[in-house]
Each structure stands twice: as structure tokens, then as C-alpha cells.
Amino acid sequence: MKCQQCSRPALMSWGPEGLPLCLSCSTQYQALIADQFDQAARAVHFAQSQIGAVLGYYTPPAPPAPRKTVIHAPTTNNINVANAGVVNSGTINSIGYAVGSLGQAGATGAAEAIKALTEAVLSDPSLSPEKKATVLEQLSVVAEEATAPLERRRKAAVMASLRDIGTVVSISSGLAALAEKLLPIIQAHFG
């Protein structure tokens, strides 16, 4: 199931309608609810102080609201690594750099496909860390070859890597469906 607000996998549902949200959007939603609660609490305290002033009794001022620390999901070179666990940051940086280069070169379809598949692999809880590392290394090879000049690309290595990626992600139904949609876009970049 996809998040209602973005394209990441939903991890929880909110409200009576069961709105599916990913961890990042859920965190933002919780922060919004907390801010609304704080605003309502300040309004109630203000109303109590006004009533106290009219009736002639003292109401102490409201204590200052505590400062909130906002933690955003880390993004490494275009790749969101929230909930990724332990991963090789060099591999992620390599993929992220390639995604940025492809986007700047006008190959946005391939860039978005590689980015979406990388983020899906990172956030999929059904893949073991070893399987994630395998898929990410294969994606790194594909991404680096995608940025190479056309005459220097190793098409056979890329096609083997894409086949391996498809095989490994087939154990997760959500990833398998996504890979089925995205791998042809990546293959089309290589002709």
C-alpha cells in the first residue's frame, strides 16, 4: 500500500478513514496535530485569564511552550535514506550522484526510476540487510553505467545486473510490482 501523500510505502493508517501514511508523512501529521493542540491549549489559558480578570481573581501567565526539535529524514544526494537501517553510504552516494547527473542530462525517466527503486529497496522491511546490500550494489553498477558515455557503457553487465535485481526483489510482492514497472524504464535508457 502506498502513502496517501507521497510515493513511499505506507506503514500506518490515520483517522477514522484509515488514511495510509509513510513514516515521514506520519511524523509531519503528528507534528501538525501537536501544534494544533498547543494552539488550543494557549487559547484555553487565555480565555481562563480573561474570565479571571472579569471575575476579579488572578490567573498566572501560561508557561512558555517548550521548543520542539524537528528531525527530518536524511537525504543523501537525492536518495531518501529514512528507515534504511545500516547501509553502505558509499553505494548510496554513488547512486545519488548518478541520479543527479542523469537528471541534469535530461534522462529524468531513468533517474526517477533508479531513485524510486533505490528508496523502495532501502525502506522495504522484508529484505534482509544482505539482500538490500546486493540490490544496492547492482543498482550502483546500473546507475554508474547510465551516466557513462554511450560508447563506453557495458550493456551486458547492466542487463545482468537488472536481471539479478528482479530476481532478488521478487521475494517482496510490493518491490516485485514496482521493479516490474521501473526496470523496463531503466532498460530503455540503455537501448
Q: Give the residue with greater pLDDT, 68 vs 140.
A: 140
Are the CB atoms for 74 and 82 separated by under 8 Å?
yes
pLDDT for position 26: 80
Note the pLDDT tens digit of each residue in 92-147: 888 888 888 888 888 888 889 988 888 888 888 888 888 888 888 889 889 888 88
Cα 175 vs. chain centroid, distance in angstroms? Answer: 14
Confidence check: pLDDT of 74 > 70 = no
The answer to pTM > 0.85 is no
pLDDT for position 84: 53
Confidence check: pLDDT of 49 > 80 = yes
Residues 6 or more apart whose Cβ sits within 8 Å of residue 40: none
d(CA 154, CA 158): 6
Comparing CA positions, the residue from 144, 139, 182, 183 lying closest to residue 161 is 139
pLDDT for position 87: 62
Q: Give the residue with greater pLDDT, 130 vs 73.
A: 130
Average pLDDT, integer, range 152-173: 87
pLDDT for position 151: 85
Confidence check: pLDDT of 73 > 70 = no
Residues 6 or more apart whose Cβ sits within 8 Å of residue 45: 59, 62
- Residues 146-155 as b/e (b if ≥16 CB within 10 A, e otherwise) read bbeeeeebee
Note the pLDDT tens digit of each residue in 6-45: 777 777 788 888 888 877 788 788 888 888 888 898 888 8
| Mean pLDDT value across the chain | 81
Note the pLDDT tens digit of each residue in 53-66: 888 888 787 777 77
| Angle formed at CA 87 by CA 85 and CA 93, multiple of 5 degrees | 125
Confidence check: pLDDT of 72 > 70 = no
